[in-house]
Amino acid sequence: MHYRRTTEACGILVARKGRIEATASFFDLGGVFPSALERSLFAKLVERFVADGGA
């Protein structure tokens, strides 16, 4: 039996205000998800969250 070794990276970000919470998960096989892109996407998620009255 042969096994293939892989690298998996996972980043989980959470924004919380009061009882309301927004989460985002970033997964990448073979390396780390680019942190600048992760921050940018999460910032957009939080902006929409606030614009919709979530915070």
- The helix (H) or strand (E) run that includes residue 1 is none
Q: What is the pLDDT of residues 1-53, one digit of tens each?
A: 788 887 888 888 888 877 778 888 888 887 778 889 888 988 888 888 788 77
Q: What is the DSSP letter of 4?
A: -
pLDDT at 54 over 70: no
Contact 23, 4 (CB under 8 A): no
Q: What is the DSSP letter of 32?
A: P
- The helix (H) or strand (E) run that includes residue 20 is strand 20-29
Bridge partners of 7, per DSSP, are: none
